[in-house]
A = this chain, B = another copy of it.
């Protein structure tokens, strides 16, 4: 396992001087995870800052009753500060990070994190920015859940998951877990969309028929 230079991949580390980066590479662990693996969670609380070198991680929160809601996604080049937050606050939490694709994760131990955020402006700015970004994400989730209609939220999410494509590959249950609602609710709304000829459905697959219509719904918030 020859160490490779992941430091160029992140805003917070690419700007650092060479010797610091070398030190970093020594201090950190690089882990490859498979699609579907739990990167962190109640059972796996790393005392590390998580950098995502490549792949994508979905962070969601689950309730005791088995429902689930997606809080945000971590993309390649970003870090996930939530674990450090929970670590610092020493509080129980029930957020889980799941790899949505095969992914390469860089784990930076707390000691290195502390030192680096003390010594390096660029790194510290990066971390603050990461916190800020997630905070905004969470504000958005609160807003959606507390005040949003689910048809609007579902339309939005379909477009986001579709990423410009004509199709979304997802089961009703998965969509329910995106929005923190129940499968039946998603089924109903999707059937409504289908009756209005906005989409077509088949098992695990949704196809846009009238994307403009969906966009109109998603914009009516």
Q: Which residues of B contact A35 (CB under 8 A)?
A: none
Task: Report A129-169 CB contacts with B as 1/0, cut-off 8 Å.
Answer: 10111111011011101110000000000000000000000
In this complex, which of A82, A88, A117, A134 has the most chain B Cβ atoms within 10 angstroms of its Cβ?
Answer: A88
> Residue among A132, A135, A141, A145 with the most chain B CB within 10 A?
A135
A136–B63 touching, CB < 8 Å: no
B93–A139 CB distance below 8 A: yes
A180 surroundings in chain B (CB, below 8 A) = 146-147
Query: Given that A121-B118, A145-B146 are contacting pairs, would A139 and B88 also be in contact in the complex, using a CB cutoff of 8 Å?
Result: no
| Number of this chain's copies in the complex | 2
Q: Is the CB of B69 within 8 A of A132?
A: no
Given A117-B124, A135-B131, A135-B135, do A142 and B71 touch, yes or no (CB 8 Å)? yes
Q: Is the CB of B84 within 8 A of A139?
A: no
Q: What is the predominant secondary structure among interface residues of chain A facing chain B?
A: helix
CA distance A61 to B135 in the complex (A): 13
A63 contact set on B, CB distance < 8 A? 143, 146-147
Interface membership of A89, Cβ < 8 A: yes
In the complex the two chains form, what is the Cα distance from A145 to B181 in whole Å?
Answer: 11
| Contact (Cβ within 8 A) B89 A129 | yes
Q: Shortest distance in angstroms between A125's beta carbon and chain B's nearest beta carbon?
A: 8
The chain B residue sitting closest to A127, CB to CB, is B128
- CB neighbours (8 Å) of A81 from chain B are 131, 135
Structural contact, A136 and B71, CB atoms closer than 8 A: no
**Distance (whole angstroms) from the CB of A29 to the closest CB of chain B:** 22
- Interface status of A85 (Cβ within 8 A of chain B): yes
Task: Confirm or deny: A202 has a beta carbon within 8 angstroms of a beta carbon on chain B.
Answer: no
Smallest Cβ distance from A219 to chain B, in angstroms?
13
Ranked 8 nearest A-B pairs via Cβ: A63-B147, A85-B132, A88-B132, A146-B180, A85-B135, A138-B138, A89-B132, A131-B131
